[in-house]
Amino acid sequence: MRTETGSVRLQADPSRRLFLRIGIAAAGGVLLPEFGFAQSRISTTDLGGATLFQGAGCNVVALPGPDGALMIDGGLAANADALIAAVKTATRTSRISTLIDTHWHPEQVGANDAVGRAGGVIVAHEKTKTYLSNAVYSVTFKGRRPALPQAARPTKTIRSDGSMEFAGQKIDYGYMPAAHTDSDIYVHFPALNLLVAGGVVSAEEWPLLDWRNGAWLGGRVRALEHLADLVKPDTRVIPATGRAMTGREVVRQRDIFQKLFTTMIGYLNMGLGPEDAAQRNPLKEYQSEFGDPTAFTYGAMKSMEIAYVPD
């Protein structure tokens, strides 16, 4: 499922039509329905010690263990059965023993209920558990998403950076405050040179900032700075959607967003608002690579108005 908005074409005149169209897009007005729709095919890619699954609603990574598979993110609920079957087949296991949610958006947590009811451990940031335990709105879906059933909520929560072991494999994880939501974590496999980064990066589109739920441009910049320090140029980086990336691409995105952050501070000092920032289009040089940046730019500036405090 593509969580970005559809293309929003800028008009020649800076009229109310521009503001209304951008505002509706950034608020989630043209997004797919909350749970999206099921996809019939799930593809697999061997990552050397782990497997990437695509087609369930988000990118999913899994690896085998003696008591079952470890799975990172779970796609949309409509695709949970097909995804879990694909993971069991690829990992040659009979169950999902551990599921890690990189954040709480519907595209990531669709398998939670099935895994939880089968006795699997669900690991996530403590704020993800809070969101999944309450009804919530977001800029990434329409309407209000109800709380998930008790069985679908995380059973093991983390608060900051740490590490765990699974099937003899060291796994590092870290919290990225206010980066895409305010509950994002990454999962790093140093021995595999593999990083699962969730919704903070993308090779093919602009990952929106859920400014209604704590994300802002400064948080995105801090997260990318941290990820850039973790990776090597050839590290395989798995975003929430789209193709796999490299560590070199993460460093480049850090540079892009650092520059945008400085630009946005300048806009604030000029008294400009989100619609002004979108019209100026500071990301236009990347449009052919990542698509129309209008909704992202609007949301980024909106997040700056909410969260930025001058030194």
Residues near 194 by beta carbon (within 8 Å), at least 6 away in sequence: 47, 49, 50, 61, 188, 235, 236, 238
Which range, of 21-25, 122-126, 195-199, 223-227, averages the lowest pLDDT?
A: 21-25
Residues near 152 by beta carbon (within 8 Å), at least 6 away in sequence: 109, 112, 113, 116, 122, 132
Residue 102 and residue 240: Cα distance in Å, rounded?
A: 9
Residue 53 is encoded by which pair of tokens? 């699954």
- Nearest 5°: the CA angle 206, 101, 137 is 60
Residue 112 and residue 58: Cα distance in Å, rounded?
A: 14
Choose among 299, 243, 277: nearest CA to 31: 299
179: phi then psi, degrees, rounded to nearest 5:
-95, -45
Average pLDDT on 248-262 reads: 98
Residue 303 and residue 214: Cα distance in Å, rounded?
A: 8
Choose among 69, 67, 71: nearest CA to 91: 69
Average pLDDT on 119-138 reads: 97
Domains of the chain are 16-307 (3.60.15.10)
Which range, of 4-13, 46-55, 111-120, 273-282, averages the lowest pLDDT?
A: 4-13
Residue 8 and residue 10: Cα distance in Å, rounded?
A: 6
What does the pLDDT read at residue 250? 98
What does the pLDDT read at residue 14? 37
Average pLDDT on 110-130 reads: 98
- Going by pLDDT thresholds of 50, 70 and 90, the confidence category of residue 37 is very low
What does the pLDDT read at residue 140? 86
Residue 70: DSSP 8-state: E
Residue 196 and residue 243: Cα distance in Å, rounded?
A: 12
Q: Is 281 left (phi over 0), alpha (psi -120 to 50) or beta?
A: left
Mean of all residue pLDDT scores within the chain? 89
Residue 14: DSSP 8-state: -
Give, in order, the Cα–Cα distances in Å from 146 to each of 132, 143, 173.
8, 10, 28
